[in-house]
Amino acid sequence: MRTVPALACVLAALLVAGPLMPSWLVFLLTVAIAKGLVVLGLVVMMRAGLVSFGQGLYYGLGAYAAGLAANRLGVGDAIALVAIGGSVSALLGYLLGFMMARYREIFFAMLSLALSMILYGTLVRSAALGSTDGFNLPPPSFLGFAFDAQDGRILVYALTVVVAIGTAMALHRFVSSPAGVIGQAIQANEIRVEYLGASVAGVLHLTYVVGAAAAGVGGALIAIAAGHIDPDLAYWTTSGEFVFVAVLSGTGHVAAPLLGMAVFEAIRSFAFQYSPYTWQMAVGLSMLAVILFLPAGLWSLFTRRRRPGSAG
Amino acid sequence: MQKIYAILVDGTVYFSWLFIVSMGLTLTYGVMKILNIAHGSFYALGAYAAASAVGAWFAGNLPAAGSFVLLVLAGIVVGGGAGLIVERGLLRPMYGRDEIVLVLVTYAAFLVIEDLIKLVWGVDPYFAYQPYNLLGRTSIGGIDFAVYDLGLFALAVVIGVATWWALERTRSGKMLRAVIHDREIATAMGIDVARVFTATFVIGATLGALGGAITAPAISVVPGIGVDVIVLAFAVSVIGGLGSVAGAAVGALVVGLARACAVHFLPEVELFVIYGVMAVVLAVRPQGLFGRLAARKI
């Protein structure tokens, strides 16, 4: 099936299912899809060979930008908050991109880790932003209307689903655009791309900003959905989780990160519920199982039986 | 003047700790090209093993001086054992896979060991303060500090010199350096790379656990102590240049002094400073202060 119509069908199905689902499932899916959005951006970066161990920087920044806009500037509208989170992260991504586009592989990973830990260190020590406790957000409004808690949750879910699927469609276009294709060529052999006359730095910079914007939007959505933010959003374990889900899902399809994150969140929620002391072990063991038995990621379950070449 | 002196003393103590903890990480990376996230769990394992061993030692009213030997032994036994299990059981089947996949394998190992520790030792804190108090405090030049911390510095120097000697002056060290330099040629020359890998990983894990074991008397051993250690050790290794022993020493010194300065002058930026230094060093010299540039392959 073609990707865009398929995504549209998924979108419709998720929207219709929203009001029918129990509220715990709605929340779990909202969180999973919002975080899946971050992974989506990361997967696009990984196709160009940029493995960031610091997407928590933009994830946390997007969340704090949305949170501060809601609390200090009185922006109540959820859609505006998401836009603010995404743009602030994209702006920082654009500025840092000038530097980051010069780094590759382990150096890129380490530098992005360092930058995210700088944000974490700053947030932990700033009493005005609630230090390690973070702060709460007021319930958002939608297009000027306020809703009660139950309807609000469904609307946040709907917003998350629409934004995520929309981004997935846009990024599907992006990876087959000239910049996206050159990105893959850079990952294969950077010097040859330079010989062919394409700007490696330019493409990597653009890809980096795309990843940052997606992470910022994801962060803002999490802030709205959870109603609370703290510095852990920028901690290295959060960033590590994104890398893990990116590898677990595989880079074969734009929907894979969203599915991968949903699986990951489900494993974690159930493990946390049934064995609060050993949930990390359950997550770790499932990670190992996927790495061992599905080397090409979860998405390979869907593409395995098809002829090579028709996948994705 | 007094303040500068205090910074030097604090920086040195912090340096010793950082150096011992980062050495294992940078060694593992240098030889195997694996960023070992499980290094933090080896640290935690060492701390827990040392804390309970020392606790049992003093409960049995055995001679107090033996507890220092016990600390080191606990670290070596637990670290070596855990390192062997992780390398043989988890990493061995994965060699040849993508670098990033290997990082994730160690991340998974970290998560599993973190919970194993909780299962074995529970979630209550452990204290093993006796060796720390036993040595008392002293004052040099008007600065009061614990003799135990001074011992840490001596241990760091011993470990540093021993590693340098083993790498530069022994036959196995030469083989190890050959593997660091070019894995394929080393294999072609008849070096058993698989064995070198196992040995390196076990030594790296042992150093990590040793770092935890010798820290145990100075802190309360609680769940989660391994998490922060990982990024700190990363920062130190990256600043010095991943895979370089001299680099780990310089990195530890830079981070130790930077943190001590921050603590004394502007405590708010303590965390910021460490990663700030890391970012600046990476921005100026991506391969780290002591790292070698790799040739670009077309």
Q: Which residues of chain B neighbour A125 with C-beta distances below 8 Å?
A: 268-272
User: Per residue in B235-256, pLDDT tens?
Assistant: 888 888 777 788 888 888 888 8
Distance CA B208, CA B47 (A): 10
Beta carbons of B271 and A277 less than 8 Å apart? no
Beta carbons of B101 and A189 less than 8 Å apart? no
Whether B136 and B157 have beta carbons less than 8 Å apart is answered as: no
CA A275 to each of CA A182, A272, A281, B78, B207: distance values in angstroms, whole numbers, following the listed order? 46, 6, 10, 26, 32
Beta carbons of B286 and A103 less than 8 Å apart? yes
DSSP conformation class of B91: I
Beta carbons of B112 and A237 less than 8 Å apart? no
Confidence band, pLDDT 50/70/90 cuts, at residue B82: very high
Phi-psi region of B87 (alpha: psi -120 to 50; beta: other; left: phi over 0): alpha
In this complex, is the C-beta atom of A173 within 8 Å of any C-beta atom belonging to chain B? no
Q: What is the structure's pLDDT at B139?
A: 76
**Average pLDDT across chain A, whole number:** 84
CATH number of B2-284: 1.10.3470
For residue A18, give the nearest of A7, A28, A26, A10 by alpha carbon.
A26
Q: Is the pLDDT of residue B296 over 70?
A: no
Confidence band, pLDDT 50/70/90 cuts, at residue B125: confident
Beta carbons of B272 and A285 less than 8 Å apart? no
> In terms of pLDDT, which residue wins out, A195 or A253?
A195
Give the CA diameter of chain A: 59
Q: How far is A103 from chain B (nearest CA, A)?
A: 8
Q: What is the structure's pLDDT at B295?
A: 55
Distance CA A165, CA A182 (A): 24
In this complex, is the C-beta atom of A291 within 8 Å of any C-beta atom belonging to chain B? yes
Q: If you search the block for the tokens 């290997």, which residue do you land on?
A: B102
> In terms of pLDDT, which residue wins out, B78 or B129?
B78
Q: Which of B99, B120, B255, B282 to mutate to test the interface with A (most CBs of A within 10 A)?
A: B282
User: Per residue in A65-78, pLDDT tens?
Assistant: 999 888 888 787 88
Beta carbons of A191 and B100 less than 8 Å apart? no
Q: What is the pTM of this model?
A: 0.85
Q: Is the pLDDT of residue B275 over 50?
A: yes
Q: What is the structure's pLDDT at A66?
A: 92
User: Per residue in A212-231, pLDDT tens?
Assistant: 999 999 999 999 888 889 88
Which ipTM score applies to this complex?
Answer: 0.81
Domain spans in chain A, listed from the N-terminal domain onward: 3-235
